Structure 1
Amino acid sequence: MTTITRRLVLAQAGLLALGGLKPAGAAEAFPSRPLKIYVGYSAGGAVDAIARSVGQRMAAILGQPVVVENKPGAGTNIAVKSLIGSPPDGYTLLLAANALAVNPSLFQPPPYDLERELTPVALVGRVPVVFAVREGSAFKTLQQMVAAAKAKPGAVTVATPGNGSTPHLAMELFQHTAGLSLRHVPYKGGAQALTDVLGGHVDVVAVNALEALPLARGGKLRVLAVMSAEHSAVLPGVPTVAESGFPGFEASVWYGFVAPAGLPKPVLAQLHAAVQKAIESPEVREQLAAAGGLPLPGPTERFEQLLKSDAARYGKLIREADIKPE
């Protein structure tokens, strides 16, 4: 070894000892730069609000900024494809809802492979879907709505936020469970569906509890039943569908974080832990509670199982009912 080479080696060793130079191939500590959360819906909606609330808590936990980027369109497929095209390094996440499990069956050809192209990270929370009518409706209970639908198949109209939306699929599941024939009236969003129900143009609306809650509190809307397995704390006295004569029925909107496939296990573990801490915070719990929802802490495997079961359940329903995207 020449004198110059020996000096270079000694200088490099000194820098390494001081932390001033990393050896080739050394991984940087995670996270060392800002994180990004994609949302497949417009700003101001329920998923966007939850992403920002959880992201703010995660930033404090991880010690790095967390930025929310809205990528609406194509039933959330634009956001999912953007995520799949991102490096699997933990710096890009997607806050997804039920559409993530539904779209591979709803759209043909499938826009993505749920198991091969994505990594479930953690569930965040769940908000029930509700059946509701305008305050002046003749339907005072879910049983009365069912009786009317059985007396005249197809006569009872049900508005939803759109074909393939979670409330639409929940409505389809219910009519299969109850042996009914309801007439579906799809809209482009929950707001328009609610407007036409309030105006008396449609009999019933199936919608996210978050959207129905302000109108129910204002006395303009009567919630007939919540589709969750348990009562909603913000809709006291409203029965579940199961309590209304259909044991075992359950349909909710869930939210959860996913990452691209190939996410390193140590990074997955760190992100999962950060989400768990975030949803235990009073701020996130209060926001979910205000929407009638509940946090869903638990292992990543729980989210993986939910994705598989929802993909199978809704996939079967989409094929049998021949549901098409808008």
Structure 2
Amino acid sequence: MSPLRSAWWRRMATIALGLGTGLVLAQTYPTREVRLVVPYSAGGSSDVVARVIGGELQRLWNKPVVVENKAGASGNIGSMEVVRAAPDGYTLLVQNDTMLTNLALQGKLPYDHQSDLTPILLVGVTPLMIVAHPASGITDVASLVAASRQRAGGLSYGSCGVGSPAHFVMELFRQKTRIELQQIGYRGCAPAVVDVVSGQIPVAAVSANLVLAHVKSGRLRAVGVSSAQRYAALPDVPTLAEQGLQPFDLSTWKALMGPARLPDAVVQKIGQDVGHLLKTPGVIATLEQAGVDIQTGDAAALARVIEADATRYRELAAAANLRPN
């Protein structure tokens, strides 16, 4: 046999062995404890997603599913732990789009989001919402634009921080309306909510679930939501796109990922099981209460979402000349 033909057969044998190993692994998976790594602090929406899914998978699989919060370095510490893990499905990552805002702001991450991680499943999205204090007189996009044009240098608004998804939403808003806006970047969404409710700032852009109660009570007025569809918990609040800013679709997402080279059969097994759980009424209700609108899709769909958002955040950061603080 020629060397070329011999090399071809070795390659085919290696591929067949890998496919066979993946299929066998998927048929028996899981046989032991599965770790869900959340690269952010406990109590946030990503943590809630992990604990809801983990609890349901533990019942389904009859194996321990442990949630571990590995916060730090804007999510990089926990993400790197999964990047370094064996590609066997026993260490998984509950990730959100902070990975991509960090990439756009910093220019690079300590890992490659394309080659070092395996997309498994999109779980859901949480839109950002622009809200205003009632005394501001701002009730919608038109009145926000008018108020900003009346002030030299533009209206001040609070966000969840420089380079946060809320910051990117307002940069896109600024580009589409051609107005000036002055960001007050807080360390997280919660203090921005406190200041807009108290009237210290007239407007804020924050995760929609964090202002749900304030909008319902009338303490804040909802200007609009950043997603393509209306927010399920506040269906009467129009989207920004509905108010003339088309296209406008920029939400925070939650997704399940694994290390690179995770076998396709294992990816499909996890995706199918989690996808089934996300259709159950109890899970839907719990996640909606946490502000997550469930949106599922296979690994290929998640990969498309990630790449589309990576491009969009990069372009917004470049246009706004955003730099790390």
Tell me whether the two structures share a fold, i.e. TM-score over 0.5: yes
After TM superposition, give the deviation of residue 325 of structure 1 in Å.
3.0
User: 2:3 corresponds to which residue?
Assistant: none
User: 1:131 corresponds to which residue?
Assistant: 130
AA matched with 1:180: I
Scaled by the length of structure 2, the TM-score of the pair is 0.88
User: 1:13 corresponds to which residue?
Assistant: none
Give yes or no for contact 1:46–1:210 (8 Å, CA) kept in 2.
no
After TM superposition, give the deviation of residue 292 of structure 1 in Å.
4.4
User: 1:69 corresponds to which residue?
Assistant: 68
User: 1:320 corresponds to which residue?
Assistant: 319
3-state DSSP of counterpart to 1:224: strand
After TM superposition, give the deviation of residue 257 of structure 1 in Å.
0.6
Give yes or no for contact 1:104–1:114 (8 Å, CA) kept in 2.
no
Aligned length: 302
Over residues 48-101 of structure 1, what are the superposed CA-to-partner deviations in whole Å (9 max), with x where a residue is unaligned?
111101111122222211111111121111111111111111011111111122
User: 2:272 corresponds to which residue?
Assistant: 273
Structure 1 unaligned regions, length at least 5: 1-24
Cα 1:153–1:85 shift into 2, 3 Å: farther
Give yes or no for contact 1:156–1:183 (8 Å, CA) kept in 2.
yes
3-state DSSP of counterpart to 1:130: strand
User: 1:16 corresponds to which residue?
Assistant: none
3-state DSSP of counterpart to 2:58: helix
Give yes or no for contact 2:25–2:266 (8 Å, CA) kept in 1.
no
User: 2:53 corresponds to which residue?
Assistant: 54
Instruction: Output the CA distance in 2 between the equivalents of 1:155 and 1:142.
Output: 14
Cα 1:173–1:308 shift into 2, 3 Å: same
Give yes or no for contact 1:128–1:228 (8 Å, CA) kept in 2.
yes
User: 2:6 corresponds to which residue?
Assistant: none
Instruction: Output the CA distance in 1 between the equivalents of 2:256 and 2:94.
Output: 5
User: 1:301 corresponds to which residue?
Assistant: 300
User: 1:39 corresponds to which residue?
Assistant: 38
Give yes or no for contact 1:209–1:291 (8 Å, CA) kept in 2.
no
Instruction: Output the CA distance in 2 between the equivalents of 1:292 and 1:192.
Output: 18
User: 1:21 corresponds to which residue?
Assistant: none
User: 2:4 corresponds to which residue?
Assistant: none
AA matched with 2:224: A
User: 2:310 corresponds to which residue?
Assistant: 311
Instruction: Output the CA distance in 2 between the equivalents of 1:320 and 1:236.
Output: 32
3-state DSSP of counterpart to 2:254: strand
Cα 1:322–1:236 shift into 2, 3 Å: same
AA matched with 1:87: A
274-283 or 304-313, larger mean C-alpha shift = 274-283
Q: Which has the higher helix share?
A: 2
User: 1:230 corresponds to which residue?
Assistant: 229
> Is the counterpart of residue 203 in structure 1 residue 202 in structure 2?
yes
> Is the counterpart of residue 113 in structure 1 residue 78 in structure 2?
no
3-state DSSP of counterpart to 1:159: strand
AA matched with 2:119: P
> Is the counterpart of residue 98 in structure 1 residue 97 in structure 2?
yes
After TM superposition, give the deviation of residue 41 of structure 1 in Å.
1.7
3-state DSSP of counterpart to 2:243: coil
AA matched with 1:300: A
After TM superposition, give the deviation of residue 214 of structure 1 in Å.
2.0
3-state DSSP of counterpart to 1:114: coil
Give yes or no for contact 2:45–2:291 (8 Å, CA) kept in 1.
no
Instruction: Output the CA distance in 2 between the equivalents of 1:146 and 1:47.
Output: 33
AA matched with 2:60: I
After TM superposition, give the deviation of residue 207 of structure 1 in Å.
0.6
After TM superposition, give the deviation of residue 211 of structure 1 in Å.
0.7
Instruction: Output the CA distance in 2 between the equivalents of 1:141 and 1:113.
Output: 40
Q: How does 1:12-27 map to 2 (within 5 A)?
A: none
Give yes or no for contact 2:126–2:252 (8 Å, CA) kept in 1.
yes
> Is the counterpart of residue 145 in structure 1 residue 137 in structure 2?
no
After TM superposition, give the deviation of residue 311 of structure 1 in Å.
0.5
**Identity over the aligned pairs, expressed in percent?**
35
After TM superposition, give the deviation of residue 125 of structure 1 in Å.
0.6
Instruction: Output the CA distance in 1 between the equivalents of 2:152 and 2:88.
Output: 53
Over residues 219-273 of structure 1, what are the superposed CA-to-partner deviations in whole Å (9 max), with x where a residue is unaligned?
2111111111112232132111011121221111111011110101111111111
Structure 2 unaligned regions, length at least 5: 1-23
Instruction: Output the CA distance in 2 between the equivalents of 1:178 and 1:94.
Output: 37
Instruction: Output the CA distance in 2 between the equivalents of 1:172 and 1:274.
Output: 38
Give yes or no for contact 1:101–1:311 (8 Å, CA) kept in 2.
yes
3-state DSSP of counterpart to 1:255: strand
3-state DSSP of counterpart to 2:142: helix
